[in-house]
Structure 1
Amino acid sequence: MSGAASLALALSLALPAQARDTAADRNIANSGKMSDRDFYRAMACAARPGGACTLPYRRWAASKCSDLTVGIAFRSKHFPAKRAHAIEEAARAAIDQINKTGAALHLSYAGARPADINLYLTDTPVGGTVRGTPSMRLNGRRLGPGTVAKVTFYWQTNTGRITDADIAFSRDIQMRDIRSVVLEEIVQSLGFSTDLEDPYYTQSSIFSENGNSVTRLIGQDAMTLRSHYPPR
């Protein structure tokens, strides 16, 4: 084995194993209001009410939470300018909503600078496959049937610590949905990879699978962020 190969192997062994989790790959079905504990565990570790966790808890490091950045990393020339501007404004609004929950989090907008949570405005149709971005991690990934955006966050398997996140948006996202969808994807990049199928929450929770109308973090949504990132 060459010296370079030996060094590469040593470095790969020294680095912690990393996994990726795509939000909304798992849905929790329920009917009616959940207790705060069941709601939080459903979102944070994909536990059905009264059941066991099916995912580990994933969080950004405490040292990172005080300065977590969000920015547009890429915009396809085919992505409509009006929608791009609306996404930027929605990202700023989402940051404001998250910062107001009382959780131990402080997000800021990074603009076009490298960020922790990167937004990719792609030339992908609804439900299509992402192509042509500078991210090899995103290219080739499907948004899924009827899906206009998808977040993937990356985490260390030994610690559950999130290291970075990518959010891909379809060129076909509708203006009326942008504010809610952007808020949902950024919230999910904080360690939540479950959507909720429950008619009770359609108009009240950002985690609802069946609606794109929620634009504020209140009630059990805000409680979930505080539970995941307890105030110091």
Structure 2
Amino acid sequence: MAVLALILFGIYFGIAFVIRTVLQLRRTGDSGFRGLSGRPGSTRWWAGILFALALLAGLLGPVAALAGLDPIDPLEHTAIATVGGAAAVAGIIATVITQYAMGASWRVGVDATETTTLIITGPFGLVRNPVFTAMAITGIGLALLTPNLIALAGIVVLLIALQLQVRVVEEPYLLATHGATYRDYAAATGRFLPGIGRLTPVSPRTARSS
């Protein structure tokens, strides 16, 4: 299963980052990469660092398995590996669909000085961050294929990184950029899963007093 995990990781990384970057460059002349946010050591900065570490763990998990690192016994089961493989494939497909839905607004990181189009249709009508949801599904699936300590630690790091990236980097940016439009959208649409993590709408009284 480690070889399959490596193959799927390569496909995912190639599609989600390499191919997507090339397409973005051809379409807009811009790679879409904005790099780390915040000063070194800040929460915003750590969000990007943890995300990079999670990607590295996604690679090192199956590499370590091939090198002889034992899986966690309760998770070493054919059924679990089958579910993991299916989840990874589903996550890769979802990544393609959700990134395509972003169009020219696709970014890795945030530049507070630019304004991108707020996408609220398609998969973004179900959840506000479907690309990150697809990424989490892919990562969990890959970890279940080689459920060793490195792979499982990578999932924990990935989930923390996604929460930080959304809560302290992207949502403040979107609120500052799109204001009431984004808040209304966020009040009706879940953060990563439908109906979960919606923002509290601004009451008319609060709006009048602000």
Q: TM-score, normalised by structure 1?
A: 0.24
Higher strand share: 1
Q: TM-score, normalised by structure 2?
A: 0.26
Higher helix share: 2
